[in-house]
Amino acid sequence: MKTTLSIIKADVGGFPGHSSVHPALLKKAGEELEAAKKNGKIKDYFVARCGDDIDLIMTHDKGPDNEEVHKLAWDTFLACTEEAKKLKLYGAGQDLLSDTFSGNIKGMGPGSAEIEFEERASEPIICFLMDKTEPGAFNLPIFRMFGDPFSTAGLVIDESMHAGFEFEVYDVMANKTVTLNTPEETYDLLALIGGKSRYVIKKIHARSGKVPKEEAVACVSTDKLSKIAGKYVGKDDPVAVVRCQSGLPAVGEALEPWAFPHLVSGWMRGSHNGPIMPCSMEDAVPSRFDGPPRVVALGFQVANGMLGQPLDFFKDVAFDKTREKSSEIAEYMRRHGPFEPHRLPSEDMEYTTLPAVLKKLEGRFTDL
């Protein structure tokens, strides 16, 4: 029987402001998923958080986009919203953009990344959870994992990885998708995914045949809140799931790209470039200027549909230097104040609160 791993996430109220998730909400989410596990709706779960986002990590045998599983996540977020309202948490229910559930969480506010697979003899998986950034923030690290031999040694040393990988890329502006193969189309791929606010990696498939080609070996949530709401309602803090080892990047190769705190869009008011900071779930509490943006990595050994307990990878002191570097870059970027390239370029500010400010000045302009 195939196993499905679903991460479904939403911000349904921050504590305080947009920093973290109140323990009462995590408790509520745990109770809802425990009940669902008991009545067989899901096999296992782990309630995680990164910044102000609740990340429901669930295993089941129902496949991606399953109505029952999506409704469970939706109802769980509704129950958490009730708690958030009672506590007057900030932005209670902010990511639930619809009044009624319509069969699939897609297009309703919450984000999702789901993969279905036949469990291998051993199935190491990493769930990456981000806050204060957007799906394109995964482009660079996912490319490094599956396409960069200077990061993933297996691309050179492991014969079974030489066939390369298939990258499914979404154009989130035009609502189109394209598939490119590495290594031969590496330059074309980079031409697209370097433009990370528009082109985002959605899924990766292995070309070697060691893992069945139809099974995604990585998946990123690509849901665009502003596209759904038609206005700024916060960034689309993304999540991703990556399978590891035996013809896929080793666990350490999936973690290696995060030693570089690359610049991502988001941070304060979803309007600034800043360095991503890998950290433990406990430390994933964006504070300085509502940031800097965070990423958490939880490792699981999935067994017979069960998740078991996670290992919180970025707790490792080996990432201390990256965090220091990230703080240094944060300091450097902050000194630019309201100037680009700290502030996002104008075209990326379209879905923020800035256009309302500019509108006010429209009548003041005269011809040169």
Judge contact between 21 and 53, C-beta under 8 A. Answer: yes
Q: Quick one: which of 269, 323, 342, 343 contacts ligand F6R (CB under 6 A)?
A: 269
Token code pair at residue 114: 């789901």
60 or 294, CB closer to Mg ion? 294
Residue placing its CB nearer to ligand F6R in the complex, 17 or 149:
17
Residue position matching structure tokens 């002191």: 317
Report the Cα–Cα distance between both ends of the chain, in Å, rounded.
70
Instruction: Identify whether 11 is a catalytic site residue.
Output: yes
H or E element that contains 323: helix 320-334
Does 290 participate in binding Mg ion (rule CB under 5 A)? no
Q: How many angstroms separate the CA atoms of 107 and 208, rounded?
A: 34
Which of 45, 170, 199, 232 is the catalytic position? 232
Choose which of 168, 290, 312, 348 interacts with ligand F6R (CB under 6 A): 290
Q: Is residue 52 close enough to count as binding Mg ion by CB under 5 A?
A: yes
Q: Which is nearer to Mg ion, 114 or 131 (CB)?
A: 131
The burial class, CB within 10 Å (0-12 / 13-18 / 19+), for 303 is: middle
Q: Which of 28, 203, 224, 235 does the annotation list as catalytic?
A: 235
Q: Site for ligand F6R (CB under 6 A): which residue of 16, 17, 107, 209? A: 17
Q: Is 111 in the site for ligand F6R (CB under 6 A)?
A: no
Q: Of 3, 6, 11, 319, which one interacts with Mg ion (CB under 5 A)? A: 11
Query: What does the alpha-carbon distance between residue 272 and residue 252 come to, in Å, rounded to a whole number?
Result: 30
Angle between the N-to-C axes of helices 186-193 and 139-147, in degrees from 0 to 180, rounded to the nearest 10: 170
What residue type is assigned to position 206 of the chain? A
CA-to-CA dists, residue 80 to 17, 217, 247, angstroms: 16, 31, 40
Binding-residue pattern over the window 128 to 147 for ligand F6R, x denoting contact by CB under 6 A: ----x---------------
Piece of 37-45, 151-159, 178-186, 266-274 that binds ligand F6R (CB under 6 A): 266-274
Tell me which residues in 170-229 interact with ligand F6R (CB under 6 A): none
Which residues in this chain contact Mg ion in the complex, by CB under 5 A? 11, 14, 18, 51-53, 91, 131, 237
Active-site residue set: 11, 232, 235
